[in-house]
Amino acid sequence: MRPCPLAVAALVTIGASSTAVAQAPSSGQVAAGQTTTTLPDTSAYSPVARRLLALERERSAAIARHDTAWLATLYAPDFRGVVANGRRVDRAALFRVFSMDSPSSRFLIDELEVRDLGAAATVTGRLRTTTLAGEVVAESRYLHVYVERVAGHWWLVSAQGTAVVRAR
């Protein structure tokens, strides 16, 4: 199935695709597949915050591979989210979205920030969807909520995407 880029952009806010895997990165850009990610300066990040940033990048790489087996180790069985178009999704619905491709779209992720709150953490960022020619066709901001339910294992339990209205 080949959905239109705008439909995918509304859903991809919770799961941007095709990003390479991180190894405790410092600031810079990484590009892989259809996604370019601008990484924050992690010099002041806690080890947990660095791990969560790496998980975010591993998550994106797994989405690009359509690796729902790995994604099931990250997304909590009781995951719930709201995508940029306001639609609620559970883990199964989100995994169906992850099986779709949009070859005419590219994704830019920036303004990433991880907040280590102890046994919980948030990751916020901005996602822009562009055409192959570089025209921005959609923009959204997102929030991912992680919880450490077992020592050392972080679950993505909730996500919210908000469409950014662009002035014309």
Distance CA 69, CA 67 (A): 5
Enumerate the domain spans of the chain: 5-163
Residue 2 clears pLDDT 90, i.e. is over it: no
pLDDT digits (tens, 9 = 90+) for 77-134: 999 999 988 999 999 999 998 888 777 888 888 899 999 999 999 999 999 999 989 8
- pLDDT over 70 (residue 20): no
Residue 163 vs residue 5, higher pLDDT: 163
What pLDDT does residue 21 have? 33
User: Is 3.10.450.50 the CATH number for 5-163?
Assistant: yes
Q: What is the pTM of this model?
A: 0.80
CB-CB neighbours of 29 under 10 Å: 11
Q: Look up residue 6 and give its amino acid.
A: L
